[in-house]
Amino acid sequence: MSLKNLTLTDNETGKSIELPLLEGTLGNPTIDVKGIPGQLGYFTHDPSFGTTASCESRITFIDGDKGILLHRGYPIEQLAEKSNYLETAYLLIHGELPNKEQYDEFSTVIRRHTMINESLKTFFGGFRHDAHPMSMMMGVVGSLAAFYHEGLNMNDEEHLMISAHRLISKLPTIAAACYKHSIGEPIVYPRNDLEYCENLLYMMFSVPCEEYVVSPVAAKALNLLFILHADHEQNASTSTVRLVGSTGANPFACISAGIAALWGPAHGGANEGVLKMLEEIGSVENIPKFIEKAKDKNDPFRLMGFGHRVYKNFDPRATIIREVCYQVLEETGIKDPMFGLAMKLEEIALKDEYFVERKLYPNVDFYSGVIYKALGIPVSMFTVMFALARTSGWVSHWLEMMGDPDGRIGRPRQLYMGALERDYIPLEKR
Ligand code: ACO
């Protein structure tokens, strides 16, 4: 909806253009700049998309200054307290909380698609035992397209939804298989009678030779972490999924690209980075040294788990996770010095002028690694856990984009700073 117009005038030519100001249901009004190149002959420059709304979306809203996160209008605090991961996934995809019948149907569908093709299992044998699970995830998830040719008509809404369900269902099976491969244990088949997170823990930690009972504390904590990581509007990996999807690429390729984007330490790789950083810091006395390193512009070191492109206040997810950390460590009886270290680091950083001035607060992943560690999940699997949870967000955005009648291929422009046109010089004359 357009509120009013802004006028942009080129002082040199005297030409003016009226730019419609678009108003969403929440958040900053947004200037529609589409007409500028055609009418004034300029592009807009916004490297790393700090101010550009790349699409219209109805899924998630963030107010970074106030620390607000809403999924389809529901505050993350309420979902974390009252919902479960599958219900949240349904909400993200369909826009409304399911009634009992819809929930049962969704949950049955997701549970029914958990198996992977037997041939896929042989892929794992091709990876070195020490391959990073995220590299295996990217490869295996991308290869799913080779198994579902028949369901990849991107103009068929049913095919789109089946693919979304397949992705949410099968990724935990693939993730657990990555883990099993890395420790040399047989891949465990899913159990469809188990709840989503229970099944993941079962596939990761059970072995065929003895009975395994899933810890309810672990399943509950994982469920909560998954809700907190389920979606976060147009972040780097979600925007990647949308951009790849805008070409009409199949959903498995899109999600594989999302996994690749998530792996970076500035994004989902931060949870692994936090644990490694805490291990490197080692003890409270060393904190000041690392704080100084983080502030030193000549040192590439950054305080992992601190700062966020959008939150300039506490990340509401970090506040919830911090609380859950206490509970998990108490319930599991684990005394992890990492938690104490993380709390002290947070306390010192939050008082430091450098972090205060730049509004650098702990983000969602500052504490998630401590919980994953307490649940027995190896550090190399932390970002995989994030990818599993984010799959529901990625597929929701992909479905929203595919359903947009005005959707076009994503194609940013550039400010060219390269060489002017010049003539080719033959090799012998260079
Ligand atoms: N440690 C030290 N300094 C930092 C940190 C940090 N973690 N984060 C930002 N800064 C500084 C920058 O050096 C910059 O300082 P300057 O203004 O003096 O140059 C200022 O704060 C602003 O930082 P930008 O890099 O411009 O912020 P941007 O929005 O581009 O980056 C990001 C956000 C990538 C999250 C960054 O804060 C970071 O690298 N954090 C550590 C990695 C991390 O935790 N990532 C997880 C993000 S949340 C998620 O994906 C789940």
Residue 242: is its pLDDT beyond 80?
yes
Q: Is 113 a catalytic residue?
A: no
Report CA torsion sign: 72, 316, 173, 269: positive
Ligand 1 proximity of 121 Cβ (cutoff 6 Å): no
Alpha helix positions (H), 144-286: 157-183, 196-205, 216-229, 236-245, 251-263, 270-281
Are β-strands 2-9 and 16-22 bridged in parallel, bridged antiparallel, or unpaired? antiparallel
What span, in angstroms and rounded, lies between the C-alpha atoms of 339 and 325? 8
Residue 16 tokens, joined: 């003016």
Range with lowest mean pLDDT among 221-235, 239-253, 263-277, 377-391: 263-277
Mean pLDDT for 200-221 is 95
pLDDT at res. 369: 87
Q: Compute and round to an integer the Cα radius of gyration of the chain.
A: 23
Residue 1: is its pLDDT beyond 60?
no
Instruction: Pick the closest to residue 185 from 176, 174, 198 (CA basis).
Output: 176
How does pLDDT run across 34-46, given as a tens digit for each residue? 999 999 999 999 9
What span, in angstroms and rounded, lies between the C-alpha atoms of 127 and 136? 7
Distance of CA 132 to the CA centre of its chain: 18
Q: Considering the chain, what is the average pLDDT of its residues?
A: 94
Mean pLDDT for 245-250 is 96
Residue 2: is its pLDDT beyond 80?
no
- Percent of the chain predicted with pLDDT > 90: 85
3-state class (DSSP) for residue 253: helix
What span, in angstroms and rounded, lies between the C-alpha atoms of 152 and 253? 11
What span, in angstroms and rounded, lies between the C-alpha atoms of 307 and 314? 9
| Sheet of strand 74-75: strand arrangement | 60-63, 68-71, 74-75
Ligand 1 site-directed mutation target among 308, 310, 368, most atoms within 8 Å of CB: 308
For residue 177, what pLDDT band results from cuts at 50, 70 and 90?
A: very high
Instruction: Pick the closest to residue 196 from 118, 114, 140, 141 (CA basis).
Output: 114
What span, in angstroms and rounded, lies between the C-alpha atoms of 354 and 361? 11
Ligand 1 proximity of 205 Cβ (cutoff 6 Å): no
Q: Is 267 a catalytic residue?
A: yes
pLDDT at res. 114: 96
Contact (Cβ atoms closer than 8 angstroms) between residue 156 and residue 171 = no
- Taking the centre of ligand 1 as the mean of its atom positions, its distance from the CA of residue 306, in whole angstroms, is 7
Residue 156 tokens, joined: 């068929």
* CA angle, residues 85, 375, 168, in degrees to nearest 5: 30
pLDDT at res. 329: 83
Distance of CA 294 to the CA centre of its chain: 24
> Model's pTM, two decimal places?
0.93
- Taking the centre of ligand 1 as the mean of its atom positions, its distance from the CA of residue 293, in whole angstroms, is 14
Ligand 1 proximity of 363 Cβ (cutoff 6 Å): yes
Residue 399: is its pLDDT beyond 70?
yes
How does pLDDT run across 278-334, given as a tens digit for each residue? 999 999 999 999 999 999 999 999 999 999 999 988 899 999 998 888 888 888 888
Burial letters 273-299, b for 16+ CB under 10 A, else e: bbbebbeebeeeeebeebbeebbeeee
**Which of these is catalytic: 231, 315, 352, 365?**
365
**Which of these is catalytic: 181, 308, 352, 397?**
308
For residue 340, what pLDDT band results from cuts at 50, 70 and 90?
A: confident
pLDDT at res. 325: 84
Mean pLDDT for 184-195 is 95
Residue 430: is its pLDDT beyond 70?
yes
Residue 203 tokens, joined: 């596939």
Range with lowest mean pLDDT among 142-146, 339-343, 412-416: 339-343
Burial of 395 per CB tally in 10 Å (0-12, 13-18, 19+): buried
DSSP for residue 187: P
